[in-house]
Amino acid sequence: MNPDIILPNNPEFSGMAVMNDEMTFECEGQTQRMTLIMPGKMAREENKTRFPLVVFLQGSGWTAPNRFAQLPQLCAYAQKGIAVASITHRNSLDGNPFPAYLKDAKAAIRYLRSRAEELKIDENRIAFFGTSSGGNTALLVGLTGDDERYLTEDYKGYSDQVACVVDCFGPSDLIQFEGSPLPPLTQDERLPDQETLKALYQDRDQGMLDILFALFGSQDAMAVLKAMSPILEIKPGKQYPPFLIVQGSADDVVPMSQSVKMHQALKDACQNSTLVEITNAEHEGTFWSDDLHTLIFEFLKTNLGA
């Protein structure tokens, strides 16, 4: 009896992906987790191809990122030829003030470059993609490549610069953050002590204040807010990688204005920036669509030469 359907085999592993969920990297003595998804072609022993890579960081309010949150969608990137590394960073609420989360993100990039040959990654074609607080991290990563302020001994000698950045609804200006409990107190370049802040804003979002205080640690609060604000990192005359900034118009966590003014600041500095508005989209949820992931993939493909 003849088969009803005959299909060819797939010796190139085209459209396939493979995943390694056992990877870790170090930063300042603490271990972070990484899930790496590679194009299926990597599974061929004779494959010599080096793949472009996007490092992904899920938003967590600078606490504990869930590296699995976008994996179902990100697998499609690997199936189409771009490797994805989804990472974690130190939780600010566990005694890890700024810039711990940023140092961890940069260490992840250096770690991947240190194993580029083994992992079949093209160290010259690495992007960073983040959402919410991960978007804030992505912007800072793109603007502070190889900055000595955030350099650690981990994977020393390797660069943490990236070829392009994708920021989805990331805070860009912590000094003038619309809707924040802090702006009324930041006009005179200083903040009250933490106990005073808690008393003044006891009816506000105490959870967010707790995170901010954790990010401050024993450091000057205003100095931390400035350093966490990507919009203040844009230096005249300096060249930065291309940015794709995506924001939902109905986001009630990170206002649309944060992305608009970040995009405008980059354009004013003659940088390559594209702003995308997702109509009526909130923070996460209906923000995501196949069309959006296709747009992000095409941006990565263009700027990574995939």
pLDDT tens digits, residue range 182-224? 544 554 555 556 666 655 555 555 667 889 889 999 998 889 9
Euclidean distance between CA atoms 208 and 62, whole angstroms = 10
The structure tokens listed for 36 are 């790496």
- Say if CB 16 and CB 90 are below 8 A apart: no
Predicted confidence at residue 45, as pLDDT, reads 62
Per-position pLDDT tens, the chain of length 306: 899 999 999 988 999 999 999 999 999 999 999 999 999 987 676 777 899 999 999 999 999 999 999 999 999 999 999 999 999 999 999 999 999 999 999 999 999 999 999 999 999 999 999 999 999 999 999 999 999 999 999 999 999 999 999 999 999 999 888 765 454 455 455 555 666 665 555 555 566 788 988 999 999 888 999 999 999 999 999 999 999 999 999 999 999 999 999 999 999 999 999 999 999 999 999 999 999 999 999 999 999 986
Euclidean distance between CA atoms 109 and 54, whole angstroms = 10
Predicted confidence at residue 239, as pLDDT, reads 97
Euclidean distance between CA atoms 81 and 269, whole angstroms = 32
Predicted confidence at residue 188, as pLDDT, reads 53
Task: Give the pTM.
Answer: 0.93
Contact partners, residue 207, CB within 8 Å, separation at least 6: none
Q: Could you check whether the bond before residue 241 is cis, i.e. omega within 30 degrees of 0?
A: no
Question: What crossing angle do the helices spanning 100-114 and 133-143 adopt, rounded to 10°?
Answer: 60
Q: Which long-range contacts (CB under 8 A, 24 or more apart) does 184-188 make?
A: 186/222, 186/225
- Say if CB 19 and CB 37 are below 8 A apart: yes
Domains of the chain (ranges plus CATH)?
17-174+231-304 (3.40.50.1820), 176-227 (no CATH)
Sign of the dihedral defined by the CA atoms of residues 190, 194, 199, 202, in that order: positive
Predicted confidence at residue 176, as pLDDT, reads 86
Phi, psi dihedrals of residue 296, rounded to the nearest 5°: -65, -45
Sign of the dihedral defined by the CA atoms of residues 235, 236, 237, 240, in that order: positive
Strand intervals (E) in 113-272: 121-131, 164-168, 243-248
Strand intervals (E) in 40-187: 51-57, 83-87, 121-131, 164-168
Instruction: Using alpha carbons, select from 209, 174, 178, 172 the residue that is nearest to residue 193.
Output: 209
Euclidean distance between CA atoms 122 and 124, whole angstroms = 5
Euclidean distance between CA atoms 206 and 85, whole angstroms = 33
Euclidean distance between CA atoms 142 and 131, whole angstroms = 14
